[in-house]
């Protein structure tokens, strides 16, 4: 089964079956990234690193209109602006209200997608490691998906 051009959005990832699905999705994403690394690994272009950081800055200001502009067309097909805000606030509280963030890893996959690993510390004091997938649309890098897991380390 090919996973290229597929998007999965799982809500309710905090407990139960939803959490299990999120963990499986994260493992699949990490396997895909690891497989890409086994091939020729290239760092992501600097331009691809800007959207997640700028989106996090918009979230910090409570500016979900601007944050939504960094989403890919696929994400926008799944979520209108209001549903996007609710999804981020409910499913990704550390991302919705981050205190700090840093990019710790970047990969340009052979299929042209970019994968960025960010360490994010929420204003709630909890830290997560987030894997962002970015896609090039009309010459601009857009966020095509995010998975996160608890990160016991300090950002």
User: In this structure, is residue 1 part of a structural domain?
Assistant: no
Domain extent at residue 91: 16-150
User: In this structure, is residue 2 part of a structural domain?
Assistant: no
User: In this structure, is residue 7 part of a structural domain?
Assistant: no
User: In this structure, is residue 155 part of a structural domain?
Assistant: no
pLDDT digits (tens, 9 = 90+) for 82-122: 999 999 999 999 999 999 999 999 999 999 999 999 999 99
Total domain count, the chain: 1
Q: Which residues does 65 contact at the CB level (< 8 Å), separation at least 6? A: 81
pLDDT beyond 50 at 1? no
For residues 142 and 47, give the distance between their C-alpha atoms in angstroms, rounded to a whole number.
10
The CATH number assigned to the domain holding 79 equals: 3.10.450.50
User: In this structure, is residue 9 part of a structural domain?
Assistant: no
User: In this structure, is residue 141 part of a structural domain?
Assistant: yes
């Amino acid at each position: 089964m090919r996973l290229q051009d597929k998007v999965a959005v799982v809500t309710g990832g905090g407990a139960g079956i939803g959490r299990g699905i999120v963990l499986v999705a994260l493992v699949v994403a990490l396997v895909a990234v690891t497989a890409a690394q086994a091939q020729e690994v290239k760092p992501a272009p600097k331009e691809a690193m800007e959207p997640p950081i700028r989106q996090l800055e918009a979230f910090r200001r409570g500016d979900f209109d601007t944050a939504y502009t960094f989403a890919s067309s696929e994400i926008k097909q799944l979520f209108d602006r209001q549903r996007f805000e609710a999804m981020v606030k409910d499913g990704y509280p550390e991302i919705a209200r981050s205190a700090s963030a840093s990019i710790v890893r970047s990969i340009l996959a052979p299929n042209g997608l970019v994968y960025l690993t960010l360490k994010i510390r929420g204003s709630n004091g909890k830290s997560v490691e987030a894997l962002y997938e970015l896609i090039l649309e009309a010459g601009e890098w857009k966020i095509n998906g995010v998975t996160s897991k608890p990160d016991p380390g300090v950002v």
